[in-house]
């Protein structure tokens, strides 16, 4: 039998909350009937009044608690994961901002060093490369001198170094050579997103046909929709691609969030943070990759030109904001932080929902949707 039971809670499954018991054995989930007897000697958590949901998955984040992914060591990555765990994020991807080849390789090596040793906190599932094949006109915080045309051989080399750990990549469809290499990225096991782009509608839709399955921070650093030229944003809304959304109330107006959710449906929206090293820290001076960033009132902007540069958002706050912005019930919002990102990056077989045999990554929420407890691999998270 199991070594832990969570009883008397409401378990999120198949779009609704059910009065079930969650049994955890060997870090995996086994669902039980509510009336099933608890085996002797097992640890029991009484979740009366609580809702049990899958652990949150953040597939786009550049750091937190004073650590920037582009310069992070394996130990630093663990510190980010520990911070995330306290906010309900049980799995994440390290988003590497466009950088030199040498530094990008170093980021990948640190990810491998992290992956090859036992670590605490949220589980780092792999790497998200945001660039370098991006459009200079929509570069945002990307260093323009490091942007380049499509180069599948470079990505193959990165993926070999990562031992398959690059799970997600952002590209601009209009950049020379990018559209042609999208099928190659898919063959490498990389989910491809389009963003930082001024692509027209036809080019964007062709990128989707070739294998793009997501849109990076929808509505930000991209050409906007026009009635005569829907552009990349129009393609994002019309296609079946997942749409990343940053729900901090700054990157997207609440009405825009509602529009995206209503247009795409709750099964095609992914709530990300796009957080930077300032997440979890007070206002002040920080950096994002090679850029100097000033955070005022929690709003991160480039010191050079005032362009917004990531966020200080955490996924527990993103959940609350989504509920507030959309007016949807909790059971409709949960997939945007769990099931959808898991499906997008290809880890739904083990994560993203509460099912028999899946990893016991769980979040317990109280009646105000505050985090009451977090379990990672069946073990209750604690900083101690």
72 closest CA partner among 57, 83, 58: 83
Q: What is the CATH number of the domain that holds 338?
A: 3.20.20.140
Pair (133, 8) in one structural domain? no
Mean pLDDT of the chain: 95
The DSSP code for 307 is -
In this predicted structure, the answer to whether residue 38 has a pLDDT above a threshold of 90 is no
Over range 255-282, report the average pLDDT. Answer: 97
The enclosing H or E element of 22 equals strand 21-25
Place of tokens 């209503």: 262
Over range 141-150, report the average pLDDT. Answer: 95
- Lowest-confidence range among 110-124, 215-229, 321-335, 345-359? 110-124
The per-residue pLDDT for 2 is 53
CB 258 within 8 A of CB 325: yes
Pair (13, 87) in one structural domain? no
Pair (147, 250) in one structural domain? yes
At residue 384 the predicted structure's pLDDT band, cuts being 50, 70 and 90, is low
Query: What 3 state SS string does 65-87 have?
Result: CCEEHHHCCHHHHHHHHHHHHCC
Pair (8, 69) in one structural domain? no
Pair (256, 196) in one structural domain? yes
Pair (48, 60) in one structural domain? no
Active site residues: 274
Pair (259, 120) in one structural domain? yes
Over range 19-33, report the average pLDDT. Answer: 91
Q: What is the CATH number of the domain that holds 44?
A: 2.30.40.10
* 167-179 per-position pLDDT tens digit: 999 999 999 999 9
Pair (223, 308) in one structural domain? yes
Range of the domain at 23: 4-52+353-380
Spatial strand order in the sheet of 299-302: 284-288, 291-296, 299-302
322 contact partners, CB below 8 Å, separation of at least 6: 247, 257, 271, 328, 333, 336
* 283-314 per-position pLDDT tens digit: 999 999 888 999 999 999 999 999 999 999 99
CA distance 74 to 76: 5
In this predicted structure, the answer to whether residue 34 has a pLDDT above a threshold of 90 is no
Angle at Cα 138 formed by Cα 333 and Cα 89, nearest 5°? Answer: 30
Percent of the chain whose pLDDT exceeds 90: 91
* 214-229 per-position pLDDT tens digit: 999 999 999 999 999 9
- Lowest-confidence range among 26-40, 169-183, 194-208, 247-261? 26-40
Pair (161, 44) in one structural domain? no
- pTM here? 0.97
Pair (100, 211) in one structural domain? yes
291-298's contacts with Cβ under 8 Å and 24+ in sequence apart are 291/141, 291/143, 293/141, 298/248
Considering only residues 383 and 172, tell me which one the structure prediction assigns the higher pLDDT. Answer: 172
Number of domains in the chain: 2
The per-residue pLDDT for 31 is 87
Pair (17, 158) in one structural domain? no
In this predicted structure, the answer to whether residue 74 has a pLDDT above a threshold of 60 is yes
Establish how many alpha carbons lie within 13 A of residue 362's alpha carbon, considering only the half-sphere containing its beta carbon: 36
At residue 37 the predicted structure's pLDDT band, cuts being 50, 70 and 90, is low
Q: Decide: helix, strand or coil at residue 51.
A: strand
Pair (115, 235) in one structural domain? yes
């Amino acid at each position: 039998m199991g070594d832990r039971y969570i009883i008397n809670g409401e378990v999120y499954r198949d779009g609704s909350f059910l009065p079930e018991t969650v049994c955890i054995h060997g870090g995996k989930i086994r669902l039980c009937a509510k009336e099933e007897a608890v085996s002797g000697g097992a640890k029991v958590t009484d979740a009366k009044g609580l809702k049990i949901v899958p652990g949150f998955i953040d597939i786009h984040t550049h750091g937190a608690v004073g650590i920037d992914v582009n310069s992070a060591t394996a130990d630093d990555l663990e510190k980010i994961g520990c911070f995330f765990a306290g906010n309900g994020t049980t799995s994440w991807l390290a988003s590497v901002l466009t950088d030199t080849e040498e530094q990008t390789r170093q980021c990948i090596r640190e990810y491998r060093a992290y992956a090859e040793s036992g670590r605490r906190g949220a589980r780092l599932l792999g790497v998200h490369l945001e660039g370098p094949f991006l459009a200079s006109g929509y570069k945002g915080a990307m260093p323009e001198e490091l942007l380049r045309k499509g180069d599948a051989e470079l990505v193959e080399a990165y993926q070999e170094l990562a031992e398959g750990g690059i799970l997600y990549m952002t590209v601009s469809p209009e950049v020379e050579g990018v559209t042609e290499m999208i099928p190659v990225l898919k063959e490498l096991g990389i989910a491809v997103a389009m963003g930082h782009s001024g692509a027209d509608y036809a080019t964007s839709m062709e990128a989707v046909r070739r294998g793009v399955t997501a849109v990076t921070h929808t509505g930000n650093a991209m050409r906007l929709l026009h009635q005569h030229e829907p552009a990349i944003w129009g393609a994002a809304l019309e296609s079946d691609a997942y749409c990343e959304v940053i729900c901090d109330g700054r990157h997207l107006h609440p009405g825009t969030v509602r529009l995206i959710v209503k247009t795409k449906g709750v099964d095609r929206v992914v709530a990300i943070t796009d957080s930077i090293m300032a997440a979890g820290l007070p206002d002040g001076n920080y950096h994002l990759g090679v850029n100097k960033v000033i955070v005022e009132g929690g709003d991160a902007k480039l010191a050079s030109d005032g362009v917004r540069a990531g966020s200080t958002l955490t996924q527990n706050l993103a959940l609350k904001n989504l509920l507030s912005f959309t007016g949807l019930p909790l059971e409709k919002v949960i997939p945007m932080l769990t099931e959808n990102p898991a499906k997008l990056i290809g880890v739904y077989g083990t994560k993203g929902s509460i099912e028999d045999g899946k990893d016991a990554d769980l979040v317990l929420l109280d009646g105000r949707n505050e985090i009451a407890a977090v379990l990672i691999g069946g073990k209750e998270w604690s900083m101690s």
